[in-house]
Structure 1
Amino acid sequence: MTTQVQQGPDSFPRRRGRFGQQVGYLLSGLPLGIAAFVLMVTGFALGVSTLVLVVGVPVLAGTLSVARFLARVEAEQIAAVTGRPLPARPGGAAEGAGRGGSRWKGVADPQAWRDLVHAVLVFPVRVATFSFTLTWLVGGVGGLTYGLWSWSIPRGEEDGLMELAFGLDGRGPDIAFNTALGVFFLLTAVPMVRGLTVAQAGLGRVLLRRERL
């Protein structure tokens, strides 16, 4: 008779899967953020500058339609990495304005403008979270395995960071220091990634789906 061990909501496989989702969310944020930032800024500038020529209205409507799509993608990602779905999108009627309704209805959708603002404001946040995540992961793995590849680093008069900082020469102290640094990065990777995820997702919760109190 075999006993099946039930895994609770905070079991190790679940936490490991959530950590992988969070890393993917943060690392994929930079390319998505670059595309969103360029599209939103370009579309907004082009639409506003051509309003007097009438063509600015459909340009703005198209830009806001893309902003709504990006907002849906971000909302799904936030729900996946935090385990907390965002509230339903307000103004559902305006969502379909770009298909069969008036172009002006799409442009007058206040939530669509919030989606556009989010795509612009979240860009520097995504740059920061991407950089910190990559630094922690690469620094952890690289530091832990430093002793295996440190021989390939060109050496000058100073033999590594330990000699520069404390005057301790030789490969031994240099390897020990970098290995310890790698262990630190790996031990703090989970809370670091979780904090970065909360920071990036928090902006989306404020702008994309305002939670009603």
Structure 2
Amino acid sequence: MTETASLLTTPQAPTAPARGARRFRCELGYLLSGLPLGLAAFTVAVTGAALGVSTLVVWAGLPILAGTLRAARALANLERRRVTAVTGRPLPSHRPRPSGTGWAGMLRAVRDPRSWRDLIHLVVAFPLQVVTFSVALTWTLGGIGELLYATWSWSLPRGQDNQGLVELIFDTSSQAADIGFNTAIGVFLLATAAPVVRRLAAVQTRFATALLTDRAATMP
């Protein structure tokens, strides 16, 4: 009786498939959310830096540049938290040096090299985010679409001038062969989606870790 009650009250550890599914959802969410966040970060970084540098000669660029670097720091800290959530390894946030207020404070903020590294990451990470987003979305949605090909293939035009992939490769116009071939592609894409998404997430998180790790924050 006691053993039964213990089984009812003790939470069971998630099974390997459940852990794998949770990890896949986390990594896929990280990749798919990376593009909109990366686009916003890239826009802020490029626009703010260009406007700030181009107007430094009239001193108006200093507050613009300081504000852009503070925004880059906040966006980079958000990416650090996203990387930590995916990898399970804490990535220390940027701890800014005291900069004070006024023009002197803005000048010290602009001279902080770690803020510039955050800004550089926002710019150079965007092309990688575009690639990983595109591959992850195509691999998963494409796999689902191909797996369900039999349910929507009827809507495709069927004429003498419209040749499908199966007809071009195997020189056959059999509808059964067409459905079987595309369904097999869907099975392959979905069967390999987890390792592909894992590799893409690993590339993106390693890139972010290399640029966003605050060495000073990791020192005792």
Name the TM-score, length of structure 1 as normaliser.
0.90
User: What corresponds to 1:43 in structure 2?
Assistant: 48
1:131-150 pair list within 5 angstroms: 131-150=134-153
Counterpart Cα distance in 2 of 1:98 and 1:150: 65
| Residue type at the aligned position of 1:131 | S
Give 1:5 shift: 7.2
Give 1:173 shift: 0.8
Matched, 1:151 2:154: yes
Matched, 1:161 2:165: yes
Counterpart Cα distance in 2 of 1:173 and 1:11: 36
Tell whether the 8 Å contact from 1:36 to 1:70 is kept in structure 2 after alignment. Answer: yes
Q: Secondary structure at the match of 1:84?
A: coil
Tell whether the 8 Å contact from 1:159 to 1:171 is kept in structure 2 after alignment. Answer: no
Matched, 1:109 2:115: no
- Structure 1 residue runs of 5 or longer lacking an equivalent are none
User: What corresponds to 2:85 in structure 1?
Assistant: 80
Matched, 1:23 2:28: yes
Q: Which has the larger radius of gyration?
A: 2
Give 1:163 shift: 0.3
| Residue type at the aligned position of 1:138 | L
Instruction: Give deviations 1:156-190, integer Å, cap 9, x for gaps.
Output: 32442110112021211110110000000000000
Tell whether the 8 Å contact from 1:159 to 1:170 is kept in structure 2 after alignment. Answer: no
Tell whether the 8 Å contact from 2:140 to 2:189 is kept in structure 1 after alignment. Answer: yes
Matched, 1:201 2:200: no
Q: Secondary structure at the match of 2:172?
A: coil
Matched, 1:58 2:60: no
RMSD value, Cα: 2.1
Counterpart Cα distance in 1 of 2:101 and 2:25: 37
Counterpart Cα distance in 1 of 2:38 and 2:101: 26
Counterpart Cα distance in 2 of 1:110 and 1:170: 64
After alignment, is 117-126 or 201-210 more displaced?
201-210
Matched, 1:13 2:18: yes
Counterpart Cα distance in 2 of 1:140 and 1:99: 54
Q: Give the aligned length.
A: 209
Name the TM-score, length of structure 2 as normaliser.
0.87
